Structures are given as structure tokens and as C-alpha cells.
Amino acid sequence: MRLNFRRGNVKNYTLAILHELTQNAAKIDANETAQFIAQLKKASHIFLNGAGRSGIAIQAFANRLLHLGFSVSIVGEITSPHSKPGDLLVICSGSGETSSLKSLAEKAKQSGVDLALVTMKRASTIGRLADVVLVLPGTTKEENQRGETFAQPMGSAFEQLAFLTFDGLVKNLMDATGETSETMFHRHADFE
């Protein structure tokens, strides 16, 4: 389906973005999401990290996992505990090649920590190290073809789809655990 839009029309750009995300979301593999959820459920503690806008999306996911009652922390936060075997590191990286995240993934594997990756590139360096890979369709900032009729800048489509997919994972975990917005709210921060 080709969308017609006028340049500079925010409403139509937004509709085109939603169309792109809908097309990409339809390609998410149900087996990969099931494996990803199983990895989350068995982890003693879940560490999460990403860089840039992918890092923002995974921080939002960490927040909801906390609300669900999981033991979680963002890598680099001062209150983050020491890792141990049985823990899980979840990395969100469109390319799977961000140097700081590659180093973190290698350290996790050396420490016996399981590794899950949300990415566009299964065959990336981090993807090859990961126990579980959840591939989200999209183009990396390096691949983005700016000559198309409509193209979001850099890795925007991946970052947006990651945010939405994380919320889909939360809804699935709510179903599995019997959690509701009301029960989760009791774990919501009250010092804000």
C-alpha cells in the first residue's frame, strides 16, 4: 500500500510512520518472542542496556518489568548489583555492533550471564553471542535509503518498534502472571 502525503504535513507523516510500523510488526516471529519471554521468566536478575534512542526504549521496558515484579536494573546505574550465572542481560541494538554494547555482551558471556538481544541484525557480533535473538524488521541508520518516497531518519523505525514490542511483551507477561494495571501500580514509584 502506497501512502500519499504532502511534505510538511505532520498528520500524514504520522500516518505513514504508523503504516511502516504496522508492516514491520507483522513480520515479528512468534517463536522468537516466545523464546525471549521464556528467557525473561527464568532469569534471577535482569540487566538491561542500549545506546541512544534504543537505550531509552529499553529503559521504559525495564520500568515495566519492575512493575511486573521482576528483579531488574539498568547497566551502569549505581544501584545495579553484581552479576551472577542465572542472570540475564538484555541488549537493544539495531545494528548489534555498538562497540560499548559488544564489550558488555562479551563480559556477560564470560561471567556466565545469559544474553538476549533485540536487533535488526541476527548475524551481528552481539547476535552471534546471544542465547536468544528477537529480530525486529527495519533499516539501520547506515542503511536508510533517503531517496525513497517516505523514509524516517536513521534508525527511527527500529527504535519505535522496539518500544511497542516491549509493551507487547509486557502485555504477554501480564497475561502469564495474572498481573493487572492495579497490581502493578503497587510497585510504581511513589517518590517522584
Q: What CATH code is carried by the domain that includes residue 140?
A: 3.40.50.10490
Arithmetic mean of pLDDT, 152-174: 94
Residue-level pLDDT at 9: 84
pLDDT tens digits, one per residue of 1-20? 455 556 678 888 899 899 99
Structure-block grid coordinates of residue 52 = 541512544
Does position 146 have pLDDT exceeding 50, yes or no?
no
Greater pLDDT, 152 or 32: 32
Confidence band for 33, pLDDT divided at 50, 70 and 90? very high
> For residue range 68-93, what is the model confidence (pLDDT) as tens digits?
999 999 999 999 999 999 999 999 99
User: What is the C-alpha to C-alpha distance for residues 99 and 76, in angstroms, rounded to an integer?
Assistant: 16
Whether residue 170 is contained in a domain is answered as yes
- Asked whether residue 11 is assigned to any structural domain, the reply reads no
Domain of 102, in residue numbers: 30-185
Look at 150 and 123; give whichever has higher pLDDT.
Answer: 123
141: Cβ–Cβ under 8 A, 6 or more apart, which residues?
Answer: 94, 95, 153, 154, 155
Alpha helix (H) residue ranges in 43-124: 52-67, 99-110
All cell numbers assigned to 96: 548489534
pLDDT > 90: what percent of the chain? 80
Task: Determine if residue 91 is left, alpha or beta; phi over 0 gives left, psi from -120 to 50 gives alpha, anything else beta.
Answer: beta
Cβ atoms within 10 Å, residue 128:
12
d(CA 46, CA 56): 16
> Is residue 166 one of the residues assigned to a domain?
yes
**Per-residue pLDDT averaged across 169-182, rounded?**
96
What's the structural domain count of the chain?
Answer: 1
Question: What mean pLDDT comes out for the span 56-69?
Answer: 97
Q: Is residue 192 situated within a structural domain?
A: no
Q: Is 182 a catalytic residue?
A: no
12 occurs within a structural domain = no
Residue 96 covered by a domain: yes
- In this predicted structure, the answer to whether residue 148 has a pLDDT above a threshold of 80 is no
Mean pLDDT of 24-38: 97
Residue 88: inside a domain, yes or no? yes
Answer yes or no: is pLDDT of 140 > 80.
no
Q: Looking at the domain assignment, is residue 19 inside a domain?
A: no
Q: Which of 32, 106, 148, 159 is catalytic?
A: 159
